[in-house]
Amino acid sequence: EMYFTAAAVEAQLWERHIARYLVPKGSIAVNGVSLTIADCDPQGSWFKAAVIPHSYAETNLSHLQPGNWVNLESDILGKYVEKLLGYQLSGSEHREAISPAFLAENGYL
């Protein structure tokens, strides 16, 4: 397992772009390598990713050292669900365009 957390200077970006998509058994790409989230903080401040030895040896993950910066890409499925439910977060703004009731009324649930 590999452990990842946000640097203090990046905490706001992490919270806005990564934290809300972290779920156990979900997916995340680290430096382009797709991994399974083995465990994560309920508030999303850190996660552990399961890495099989072959993937570790054959990817750039084997070159990482504690404190290295990495590129993270959250699971697209979480983004689709968020969009489908109509939640668009920008700053403190929260807008609901399509509700679960709307989806049920129109045969989607």
Q: Which domains does the chain have, with CATH numbers?
A: 2-74 (2.40.30.20), 76-109 (no CATH)
pTM of the predicted model as reported, rounded to 2 decimal places: 0.68
pLDDT by position in tens, the chain (length 109): 788 777 766 777 777 778 888 889 999 999 999 999 999 988 888 899 989 999 999 999 999 998 888 999 988 888 888 777 765 544 445 555 667 787 788 777 7
Tokens matching residue 106:
């129109």
Residue 40: enclosing H or E segment and its boundaries?
strand 33-40
Q: State the DSSP code for 92.
A: T
